[in-house]
A and B are shown apart, each in its own frame.
Chain A
Amino acid sequence: MERKIILENNDIEGIRFLDVYRQNGGYQSVEKALKTMTPDEVVSEVKTSGLRGRGGAGFPTGLKWSFIDKKSNNPRYLVCNADESEPGTFKDRYLMERIPHRLLEGMICSSYALGANTAYIYVRGEYKYIVGILNEAIKECYKNGLLGKNILGSHYDLDIYVHCGAGAYICGEETALLESLEGKRGNPRLKPPFPAVKGLYDCPTVVNNVETLANIGWIVNHGGESFAKIGIGKSTGTKLISACGHINKPGVYEIELGFPVEEFLYSEAYCGGIKNGKELKAVIPGGSSVPILPKELILNTLKGEKRLLSYESLADGGFESGSMLGSGGFIVYDEDDCIVRNTYNFSRFYHHESCGQCSPCREGTSWMDSVLYRIENGNGRMKDIDLLVNIASHIEGNTICPLGDASAWPVAAAIRHFRNEFEFHVEHPDIVRNIKHGSILQYTNK
């Protein structure tokens, strides 16, 4: 069943502009919230909806909002996290490019619920052209009384500004993002205090992902209970999945949570099967940070149940045989892809992106990078494989922010599920050295 919340009306021409967006029901939620609801009522609807953060962690949004320090006399802030940098994820870019007003509508309702009069959208530096699109949309809102002083005659004031980053993966972590927004290096902060108590400029702040905020308008319009009916169990609503890798139809798809992975992969309406008629080898279901799963485990859980695109089903079996929904970056590998090369690639990425604040991450990512480099280039030793597992286990859980975990999980999972490929690399240095691209699996079978 096709269910659209965020990408509803996405195919209407000119939906990027305010007049077309409004003709198709846009900004009704703002009228409803500001004129007929109290801020607490909006928060309670969001709580009822069961909406969970779409940036990766999946933390309940309503709960996060309710932590905001109400006793503080400082101004409150809403910050939209549009620093989408997780490899394999490109849904927020698509959303902001196509329907920027969906995000702004959600931000106005959310700011009202939180009692914030200033909100920032932190866009990653690489998406500079998105800044132009958002600024245009914001300008339209000011012109039509949807932003600024006394919005729609409700005596509520709100300003939204776009802030552009300058290329740092770590700024997707909420406290690093706040540091960056304050004009500093993107070094994550120790928590607690959480941003809801001491965030931007030490004021109560809520940081939410683009997709999370884009859901708020619908929830205000239709009520939290209707939202909670969509999806499966505690995974309510829909999710944008960014599908990429070796599939016939890469792109951004909105699915109802609980959609079967197998159907998503092979259905013509979605990924359309594996490219060039090849066999599926593995999938990373939630962006590069989450564990990779081989074919058998991504299609079905260890218990033999069908794997679904939901927070719970993808996590079924823990990290032994499961993974995470994460940010919804669905990366597909075919039979010819080399897992070792891919793991090395991601390790290099995390090494490059580590902010250098915590020793386990700063030293560990660099160490894993160099060990994987030598395995990939035919200079590995058998004990290197266990060494990698060991390094990964010592990074995990020992750093201020989750980048440490994110660098450790992919390495540990790749070795857990594809140890034979790592061993092959060590045992056949000559073959490995001469092959620079693609898989070496074709040689394993000979």
Chain B
Amino acid sequence: MSDKQFKHKLYVKKNKEVSFTADTLAKIETVISHYPEGQQKSALIPVLQIAQEELGGSLNVDSMDYVAGLLHITPIEVYEVATFYSQFYLEPVGKYVIEVCQTGPCAICGGEDIMHYLEEKLHIKVGETTEDNLFSLKGVECLGACGSAPVMQVNTEFYEFLNIEKIDEIIATLRNTSELTKPESLSWKERLS
């Protein structure tokens, strides 16, 4: 949170028309109905997640203002939430956001090497996006999968027990297919079952 600051350019309103499809609006209505009357602000995080997903993977001032209108709250209430949570991206990201865990248990099991290898392989630094807009690389804090360290998350999928060969395979698959593939099952889960 501390290292993510609103860049000035984000304040410039682009005045682009933002709108959701009827389906999305219905989905948002359902989310709002989960909270008591008058507490529609509770739906802010879920609605921002929907907005981010629908509007190309990241948020900007236009989309945040639109969300504020939907929930009948002021734009600043949306900005303060969007800047607080690390999963809201305020700058454009690639189709696949690769988030490599950098915290303790992953770090001692090679998480840092995984990050360096990805930087070399994708020819970008942490925080950057490849030229073809396919991959964004981010270092994140604990993903809650320490038992299968080192791990990374690509969009919503977890990839665990990583090594160089696995990363080569994952990147190749993501480059060649249009859909995110389900990762293989975890060995510690099998062991316990």
Chain A interfacial positions (CB closer than 8 Å to B):
7, 10-11, 75, 84-90, 93-94, 98, 118, 124-129, 161, 163-169, 180-186, 201, 242-246, 249-253, 288, 329, 331, 333, 337, 341-342, 345-346, 349, 351-356, 366, 436-437
Contact B45 A164 (CB under 8 A): yes
Residues A168 and B86 in contact, CB atoms below 8 Å apart? yes
B36-73, CB < 8 A from A? 36, 39, 41-46, 48-49, 71, 73
Chain A nearest CB: distance from B149 CB in Å?
A: 6
B107 within 8 A of A: yes
Rounded to whole Å, the gap between the CB of B41 and the closest CB of chain A is 4
Report B1 CB to chain A, min CB distance, Å: 7
Chain B residues with Cβ below 8 Å from A342 are 104, 107-108
11 new A-B contacts, CB < 8 A, other than A163-B42, A183-B41, A349-B141, are A87-B146, A88-B146, A163-B46, A164-B49, A165-B85, A168-B86, A184-B41, A244-B105, A250-B147, A331-B105, A353-B1
Q: Is the CB of B87 within 8 A of A129?
A: no
The contact of B149 among A164, A183, A244, A329, by CB within 8 Å, is A244
A-B contact pairs, 23 of them (CB 8 A): A7-B192, A10-B193, A11-B193, A75-B36, A84-B144, A87-B142, A88-B146, A90-B145, A118-B36, A124-B144, A164-B45, A165-B85, A166-B49, A180-B45, A184-B77, A250-B148, A251-B147, A252-B188, A331-B146, A342-B104, A356-B2, A437-B112, A437-B113
Q: Which residue of the partner chain, among A11, A118, A185, A245, contacts B109 with CB atoms under 8 Å?
A: A245
User: CB distance A251 to B191 under 8 Å?
Assistant: yes
Q: What 0/1 readout, one digit per residue, does chain B (150-161) give for beta carbons within 8 Å of chain A?
A: 000100111000
Q: Knowing A93-B145, A127-B144, A352-B2 are in contact, say whether A331-B41 is a contact too (CB < 8 A).
A: no
For B86, the chain A residues whose CB sits under 8 A away are 166-168
The yes or no answer to B171 lying at the interface (CB within 8 A) is no
Q: Number of B interface residues, CB 8 Å? A: 52
Which of the residues A75, A88, A128, A181 comes within 8 Å of B104, measured between beta carbons?
A: A88
Chain B 9-49 per-residue mask, 1 if CB under 8 angstroms from chain A, else 0 = 00000000000000000000000001010010111111011
Cα A11 to Cα B193 with chains together (Å) = 4
Closest to B108 in A: A337
Partner of B85, one of A168, A201, A246, A351: A168
Please name the residue on chain A nearest to B193 by beta carbon. Answer: A11
When C-beta atoms are compared, the residue in chain B nearest to A337 turns out to be: B108
Across chains A and B, which 9 residue pairs bring their CB atoms closest together, nearest first? A166-B85, A183-B44, A251-B188, A167-B87, A183-B41, A167-B86, A244-B146, A250-B147, A87-B142
By a CB distance below 8 angstroms, the chain B residues around A129 are 156-158
Of all chain B residues, the one with the shortest Cβ separation from A186 is: B84
Q: Once the chains are docked, how many angstroms separate the CA of A342 from the CA of B86?
A: 23
Contacts of B103 in A (CB 8 A): 87, 288, 345-346, 349
Question: Once the chains bind, are B45 and A87 in contact (CB under 8 Å)?
Answer: no
Within 8 Å of chain A (Cβ to Cβ): is B179?
Answer: no
Pick from B87, B104, B156: contact of A87, CB below 8 A.
B104
Tell me whether B170 is interfacial, beta carbon within 8 Å: no
A185 touches B2 (CB 8 A): no
Of the residues B46, B112, B141, B189, contact of A169 by C-beta under 8 Å? B141
**Distance to closest chain A CB from B42 (angstroms):** 5
Q: Decide if B34 touches A163 in the complex (CB within 8 Å).
A: yes
Which chain A positions have C-beta within 8 A of B144?
Answer: 84-85, 89-90, 93, 124, 126-127
Q: Collect the chain B residues with CB atoms within 8 Å of residue A124's CB.
A: 144
Most buried by A among B49, B86, B102, B157: B86
Residue numbers of B with Cβ under 8 A of A are 1-3, 34, 36, 39, 41-46, 48-49, 71, 73, 77, 80-81, 84-88, 102-105, 107-109, 112-113, 140-149, 153, 156-158, 188-189, 191-193
Whether A168 touches B149, Cβ cut-off 8 Å, given contacts A87-B142, A345-B107, A355-B1, is no
**Chain B hits for A337, CB < 8 A:** 108
- Give, as a whole number of angstroms, the nearest-CB distance from A272 to chain B: 10
Which of the residues B3, B71, B104 comes within 8 Å of A345, measured between beta carbons? B104
Given contacts A161-B34, A164-B49, contact A201 B143 (CB under 8 A): no
Residues of A within 8 A of B34 (CB): 161, 163
* Pairwise interchain contact A125-B80, C-beta atoms closer than 8 A: no
Assembly CA distance A250 to B142 (angstroms) = 16
Distance A346 CA – B107 CA, assembled complex (angstroms): 10
Assess the A249–B188 pair: CB atoms within 8 A: yes
Assess whether A165 is in contact with B45, with CB atoms less than 8 Å apart.
Answer: yes
- Cβ B191 vs Cβ A126 within 8 A: no
Residues of A within 8 A of B1 (CB): 168, 352-356
Chain B residue at minimal CB-CB distance from A181: B42
Bound state CA distance, A166 and B88, in angstroms?
7
B146 contact set on A, CB distance < 8 A: 87-90, 242, 244-245, 250, 329, 331
Let me know if B156 and A349 touch, CB within 8 A. no
A169-B141, A437-B112 as given contacts; A249 in contact with B191, CB under 8 Å = yes
Task: Assess the B45–A183 pair: CB atoms within 8 A.
Answer: yes
C-alpha spacing A349/B2, complex, angstroms? 11
Question: Are B104's CB and A331's CB within 8 A?
Answer: yes
**Min CB distance, A373 to chain B, in Å?**
14
Task: Give the chain A neighbours of B3 by CB distance below 8 A.
Answer: 352
- A244 CA / B150 CA spacing, docked (Å): 11
Q: How far apart are the CA atoms of A90 and B188 in the complex, in Å? A: 12
Nearest-neighbour CB distance to chain B for A145, whole angstroms, equals 20
